[in-house]
Amino acid sequence: MSTAFAGRTVTGTHRAVTRGPRVLPALVPAVVAAGAVAVTGLWWLNTPAVTGPDSWLTNAGRVTGLLAGYGITVLLALMARIPALERGVGSDVLARWHSMGGRYVVGLVLAHALLITWGYSLTDRTGLVDETVTLNLTYPDVLKATVALLLLAGVGVVSARAVRPRLRYETWFHLHFYTYLAAWLAFGHQLATGAEFIDAPVARAAWYALYIGVAAVLGWYRLLTPLRRAVRHRLRVAAVVAEGPGVVSVHLTGRRLDRLRAEPGQFFRWRFLTRELWWSPNPYSLSAAPRADELRITVKDMGDQSRSLSRLRPGTRVVAEGPYGSFTSRRRRARKVLLIAGGIGITPLRALFESLPASSGDLTLLYRARTTGDLVLRAELEAIAQARGAALHYSVGPRGLVGDPFGPATLLRLVPDLTVHDVYVCGPPGMTAGVVAALRAAGVPGRRVHHESFEF
């Protein structure tokens, strides 16, 4: 069966709300850049002159080392689950910044090690191998720093695009904890051997404050906050409902869930306390608007962890980290809204479809799936469309039969006033990239196109 977007429009009334532009996505990089300038200034103040090849190499090593030490704190802070950043910037953007920054930090660490060793070898008139041995065996904490370098390089390798898709999410997630160990191992040698910190109590205090501050934020938001909320809200599995082939909805109940301040479009990292699932929190979006006594997620069988959810028993305890993400009504600027979903990407959009304020004719959902059996939550979507006066269109069938369901011409035919809509997109990465490009080609301003990737 193939269908090139077929559907219906029904009527209802809901008042639209618009939001202002977000500031944090521009402010955060500016703050990070200012910190990098300050760290470079620390080197400048402690370097009266640079003369000769050995001095140039050594000082280049000092600068790259300082920036690497600063950079690793930035990487950890980006992944600290700070609510203001998660809501104001978005988890996917933070993850992309973290990934990009990680490549720079690994490069800086490698450059620091090579440049310092090379510069010292010229000063001491020794070979690189001999100087490496001398630095690791005689300089305080340098051997620990070398171990940190190897750990960071290893994390960088498993995060490379050629390697990452071959790893299970759980494996990749736990390997990243070595970043914490690397930061701890490298910290000592920065103060013990860094010319910027020797006999400089103010600089040492600032460096301690930076690292201790980031550690405190990590401990609070990634450890203590989830534990505190687990005790307060006492989340449990209420029911597991089959929604289609390999797809289940998990209904969760608890106390005072409204105090979580979860919004449609957001996700949590869920840790189900069973023998096979307790050790790994996985991200799943809310598939219904949150209520004071219930949350719901809908999950497709994509591997061992997601497959195990179908075997959850009512009463299973749950620890939830979140809510996270900015894929919410807060991004909205226009009166009219278009939602575009592909596959299991319907889950956050289903919650938005239910809850976004919209008048009759102002809300449209386009849903792409390979087969009618893959139209997850179809009955709910049609009931919402009927009740809210929204347009609902499906595109079902193999790509070779239906063609390009999200081309600019198709989108403009379905939504003639497309350019005055806010558009929310969620689906597989390839589909999302194609839809975003088609929207821009159709004339939708970039500031009105909202998408959130959940790739690890």
- Of the candidate CATH numbers 3.40.50.620, 3.30.450.40, 2.60.40.10, 2.40.30.10, the domain formed by 234-324 belongs to 2.40.30.10
Token pair of 233 as six digits? 């809200």
> DSSP states of 216-265 as a string?
HHHHIIIIIHHHHHHHHH--EEEEEEEEETTEEEEEEE-SSGGGG---TT
pLDDT digits (tens, 9 = 90+) for 83-130: 888 888 888 888 889 989 999 999 999 999 999 999 999 999 999 999
- Whose tokens are 């690793």? That residue is 72
Cα–Cα distance, 365 to 415 (Å, whole number) = 10
Q: Are 266 and 331 in contact (CB under 8 A)?
A: no
What are the domain boundaries of the chain? 3-18+330-451, 24-225, 234-324
User: 391-396 and 421-426: which strand pairing?
Assistant: unpaired
Q: What mean pLDDT, rounded, does the chain reach?
A: 87
Spatial distance between the Cα atoms of 442 and 423, rounded to a whole number of angstroms: 12
Q: Tens digits of per-residue pLDDT, 324-382? A: 988 999 889 999 999 999 988 999 999 999 999 998 889 999 999 888 888 999 999 99
Q: Provide the pLDDT for residue 391.
A: 93
Q: With beta carbons less than 8 A apart as the criterion, state whether 377 and 287 touch.
A: yes
Contacts of 352 (CB under 8 A, 6+ apart): 264, 265, 328, 329, 339, 424
Query: pLDDT tens, 289-313?
Result: 999 999 999 998 776 667 788 889 9
Residue 237 has pLDDT above 90, yes or no: yes
pLDDT tier for residue 5 given thresholds of 50, 70 and 90: low
Q: How confident is the model at residue 455 (pLDDT cuts 50, 70, 90)?
A: low
**Distance separating alpha carbons of residues 443 and 408, to the nearest angstrom:** 9
Q: 8 falls in which pLDDT band (50, 70, 90)? A: very low
Q: Which has the closest alpha carbon to 328: 262, 407, 242? A: 262
**Fold exhibited by the domain 3-18+330-451:** Rossmann fold (3.40.50)
The Cα–Cα gap between 60 and 339 comes to 50
Whether cis (ω within 30° of 0) applies to the bond prior to 323 is yes
Q: CA-to-CA distance for 108 and 106, rounded, in angstroms?
A: 5
3-18+330-451 matches 234-324 in fold: no
